Structure 1
Amino acid sequence: MTLRTTLLAVMVAATATLAGADPRSWSHEWPDTDFTKTSVTNWGEILSGGPPKDGIPALDGPGFIPAARETRIGAREPVITVEIKGTKPRAYPIRYLTWHEIVNDTVAGVPIAVTFCPLCNSGITFDRRTRHGVLSFGVSGKLRNSDMVMYDRQTESWWQQALGEAIVGDLTGTTLKTLPTWMESWAQFKARNPDGLVMDQPAWSRSYGSNPYRNYDSSKRPFLYSGEMPPHGVPPLMRVVRVGDRAWPLSRFEGQREITEAGVTLTWSEGQASALDTGNINQGREVGNIRVRDGNGRDVAHDLMFAFAFHAFWPDGRWMLGR
Structure 2
Amino acid sequence: MTRTRVILSLVLGLWAGISAADPTFWKHEWPQTDFTRTSVDNWVEILSGGPPKDGIPALDAPKFIPATEETRIGGSEPVVTVAFDGAPARAYPLRYLTWHEIVNDTVGGVPIAVTFCPLCNSAMTFDRRVQGRVLSFGVSGKLRHSDMVMYDRETQSWWQQAIGEGIVGEMTGVTLRQLPTWLDSWDQFRARHPDGLVMAEPAFNRRYGVNPYENYDRSKRPFLYSGDPPPHGIPALARVVRVGDRAWPLDRVRAAGALREAGVAIDWRPGQASALDSARIAEGRDVGSIRVRDGQGRDLPHDVMFAFAFHAFWPEGTWMLGDATKR
TM-score normalised by length of structure 2:
0.95
User: Could you give the per-residue CA deviations for residues 216-236 of structure 1, whole angstroms, max 9, x where no partner exists?
Assistant: 000000000000100000100
Partner of 1:271: 271
SS of 1:293's partner is strand
2:9 and 2:49 in contact (8 A); partners too? no
Partner of 2:12: 17
Question: 5+ residue gaps in structure 1?
Answer: none
Instruction: Provide the identity percentage.
Output: 69
Amino acid at match of 1:289: S
Partner of 1:308: 308
C-alpha distance in 2, partners of 1:181/1:9?
A: 36
Query: How far apart are residue 17 of structure 1 and its match?
Result: 1.8
C-alpha distance in 1, partners of 2:254/2:12?
A: 41
Is the deviation greater in 7-16 or in 207-216? 7-16
Instruction: Map residues 1-323 of structure 1 onto 2, 5 A cutoff.
Output: 9-13=4-8, 15-18=10-13, 19-20=16-17, 21=20, 22-323=22-323
Amino acid at match of 1:209: G
The runs of at least 4 aligned residues of structure 1 exceeding 3 Å deviation read 7-10, 12-15
Amino acid at match of 1:41: D
C-alpha distance in 2, partners of 1:311/1:253?
A: 19
C-alpha distance in 2, partners of 1:199/1:171?
A: 30
1:114 and 1:123 in contact (8 A); partners too? yes
SS of 1:141's partner is strand
SS of 1:17's partner is helix
Amino acid at match of 2:155: T
2:254 and 2:269 in contact (8 A); partners too? no
C-alpha distance in 2, partners of 1:265/1:12?
A: 42
Question: 5+ residue gaps in structure 2?
Answer: none
Query: How far apart are residue 9 of structure 1 and its match?
Result: 4.1
Query: How far apart are residue 15 of structure 1 and its match?
Result: 4.0
1:164 and 1:176 in contact (8 A); partners too? yes
2:114 and 2:123 in contact (8 A); partners too? yes
Query: How far apart are residue 25 of structure 1 and its match?
Result: 1.1
C-alpha distance in 1, partners of 2:255/2:47?
A: 40
C-alpha distance in 1, partners of 2:267/2:3?
A: 34
Query: How far apart are residue 253 of structure 1 and its match?
Result: 2.7
Query: How far apart are residue 132 of structure 1 and its match?
Result: 4.6
Query: How far apart are residue 320 of structure 1 and its match?
Result: 0.2
Is the deviation greater in 122-131 or in 250-259? 250-259
Query: How far apart are residue 257 of structure 1 and its match?
Result: 0.4
Query: How far apart are residue 11 of structure 1 and its match?
Result: 1.9
C-alpha distance in 2, partners of 1:296/1:108?
A: 23
SS of 1:226's partner is coil
Query: How far apart are residue 16 of structure 1 and its match?
Result: 2.2
TM-score normalised by length of structure 1:
0.96
- Give the RMSD, CA atoms, in angstroms: 1.2
2:215 and 2:278 in contact (8 A); partners too? yes
Q: Rate the CA distance shift 1:209–1:255 in 2: closer, same or farther, 3 A.
A: same
C-alpha distance in 2, partners of 1:68/1:241?
A: 31
1:8 and 1:213 in contact (8 A); partners too? no
User: Could you give the per-residue CA deviations for residues 228-282 of structure 1, whole angstroms, max 9, x where no partner exists?
Assistant: 1000001000000000000000120343200000101000000000000000000
Amino acid at match of 1:59: L
